[in-house]
Amino acid sequence: MARLVKVAERSDIARGGKLVVELDDMEVAVFNVDDEQYYAVENICSHDGGSLGDGRIVNSYEVECPRHGARFDIRTGKALVMPAFEPIEAFPVTLKDGGVYLTVDW
Ligand code: FES
């Protein structure tokens, strides 16, 4: 059943910034692309486990894995650039009452 989980305050993530949060036993990287657009993906590259929260954002919506340069669309989790080809999980983000909430399905 889907549930909404608060993972941060909006003020915890500066515009253009990111934050790695714990979600149950998973790490999730939350990106503040601009003040009304936040995205969240699991913090594990599907190529070989790189920490995407340590990667840089390119082309507005792509995170580049710091290990071997794979890129993922942070809106969908889709793998865009090799060496990764499997998607990663993306979580819908809701902003309310000054908080950042993720919808999780477990
Ligand atoms: S671990 Fe991310 S590109 Fe290899």
User: What mean pLDDT is reported for the chain?
Assistant: 95
Query: 55: pLDDT confidence band, cut at 50, 70 and 90?
Result: very high
Q: pLDDT digit string (tens) for 61-96?
A: 999 999 999 999 999 999 999 999 999 999 999 999
> Which of 43, 46, 48 best tests ligand 1's pocket when mutated (most atoms within 8 Å of CB)?
48
39 close to 90: Cβ distance less than 8 angstroms: yes
- Residues linked to residue 8 through DSSP beta bridges, in sequence order: 100
Domain that residue 8 falls in: 3-104
**Number of domains comprising the chain:** 1
The pLDDT score that the predictor gives to residue 105 is 87
Query: By C-alpha distance, which of 84, 39, 90 is closest to 65?
Result: 84
Which of ligand 1's atoms lies nearest the C-alpha of 66? Answer: 2
Q: What is the pTM of this model?
A: 0.95
Which CATH number characterizes residue 93's domain? Answer: 2.102.10.10
Q: Is the CB of 50 under 6 A from ligand 1?
A: yes
State the chain's maximal CA–CA distance in angstroms: 39
Q: Are strands 93-96 and 37-42 parallel, antiparallel or unpaired?
A: unpaired
pLDDT of 42 over the 80 cut: yes
